Amino acid sequence: MTWNSQLYDQKHAFVFQYGESLLDLLQPKKGERILDLGCGTGHLAHKINGAGAEVIGLDSSIHMIEQAREAYPELSFIHQDARNFAIAKPFDAIFSNATLHWISDQPLVARTIYQHLKTNGRMVVEFGGKGNNAGMLKALRKVLAKTGHIQHSWIDFWYFPSVGEYTSLLEKAGFRVTYATHYDRPTLLEGPDGVKNWFKMFGTPFFEGIPEEEIERILNMTQDELRSTHLREGNWYADYKRIRVIAVREH
């Protein structure tokens, strides 16, 4: 993915706004050293820092990191990959919001997180769970197939596990899982073209090689397909299902 950091902040602020409630599970404390894994444009790292913790933001998108550095020059942001980042000093906690579903090699991510935690350090994460955005994705795949883009309709690049799948993965990496939930979170999308804008931001791999005018036609058809299920009182909603997990490195 090549991220449009300005569109992310302007039209999809819900990503970090919903993530603010995850900070209640993190409970950052003064003097703690915390990594924000997949920090995006830095807003939640800023909140963590405001609680008195020493925070480092990490993201694989240089565009996100550049915007985060511009917005919060007093904080430390680094451009690395969640699968194999390397930071010398371990952390009291590693926090991640709306990031892990973008990464296919989750066993490697879990091991890397584990290696970067102190003994009794914790990971606190939220990301898309099984069934996340199933309605929107089904509608897009139907339209892609209908318009002659059958191969594009087969594209699948997200990791949306069940609670059992993900917590088992963490246990294999050495963690003790202390909290896990899988819940529905209908998510308000901004503006009259909320569905179209969502796919333009997060679904670009579906449209690689398709002309721009054709993409617009596909998105219009997809949005029309969802009108009866995802438009409520004039507002578009994405059918999100999220996983939240707290896990501890005990040794």
Average pLDDT, the chain: 93
pLDDT(17) > 70: no
Q: Which pLDDT belongs to residue 14?
A: 53
SS3 195: helix
Q: 13-22, 86-95, 183-192 — which one is most confidently predicted on average?
A: 86-95
Q: Which domains does the chain have, with CATH numbers?
A: 5-132+157-190+239-248 (3.40.50.150)
Q: Which pLDDT belongs to residue 85?
A: 97
Confidence band for 6, pLDDT divided at 50, 70 and 90: low
Helices (H), strands (E): how many in the chain?
A: 12, 8
Q: 9-13, 21-25, 177-181 — which one is most confidently predicted on average?
A: 177-181
154-166 burial, b at 16+ Cβ within 10 Å, e below that, comes to: ebeebbbbebeeb
Instruction: Give the DSSP per-residue string, 200-239.
Output: HHH-GGGGTTS-HHHHHHHHHHHHHHTHHHHEETTEEEEE
pLDDT(170) > 50: yes
Tell me which residue has tokens 């997200």.
Answer: 158
> For the chain, what's the residue count?
251
Least confident of 11-15, 49-53, 170-174, 219-223: 11-15
pLDDT digits (tens, 9 = 90+) for 46-103: 999 999 999 999 999 999 999 999 999 999 999 999 999 999 999 999 999 999 999 9
Confidence band for 12, pLDDT divided at 50, 70 and 90: very low
CB 226 within 8 A of CB 135: yes
Q: What is the pTM of this model?
A: 0.91
Q: Which pLDDT belongs to residue 11?
A: 44
Confidence band for 248, pLDDT divided at 50, 70 and 90: very high
